[in-house]
């Protein structure tokens, strides 16, 4: 699993909305995490239909989603995207919207 950056323990401006763009390709999953005006973070991990490839994909999703939950974000909505087909170009796009509830 390759991380281009790690999720910050506390985001610089602690935005109330985080947008996560997911690009599922045949061999890997690219996740782009946007927090307000901060530089987007990227995470990439293996993908595939075999057990050997599906396990890292599940772990990759679990890691970045659990970090967002630990930071107080909850999944608010998903936007199902289309795909780009082709033998070597199978890509599925989706977007996850996380929000942070205001502190009481």
Listed by start position, the domains of the chain span 2-100
Integer Cα distance of 93 and 32 in angstroms: 11
pLDDT at 34: 96
CA distances from 61 to 28, 76, 88, 103 (A): 12, 16, 23, 26
Q: What is the mean pLDDT of each run of 10 residues along the chain (104 residues)?
A: 48 78 90 93 87 85 94 93 64 92 74
Integer Cα distance of 61 and 68 in angstroms: 11
């Amino acid at each position: 699993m390759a991380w281009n950056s790690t999720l910050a323990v506390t985001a610089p401006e602690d935005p109330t909305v985080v947008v996560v763009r997911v690009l599922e390709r045949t061999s890997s999953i690219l996740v782009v995490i946007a927090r307000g005006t901060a530089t987007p973070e990227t995470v990439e991990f293996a993908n595939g239909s075999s057990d050997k490839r599906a396990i890292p994909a599940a772990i990759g999703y679990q890691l970045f989603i659990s970090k967002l939950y630990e930071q107080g974000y909850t999944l608010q909505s998903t936007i199902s995207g289309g795909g780009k087909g082709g033998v070597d170009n199978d890509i599925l796009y989706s977007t996850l919207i996380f929000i942070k509830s205001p502190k009481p």
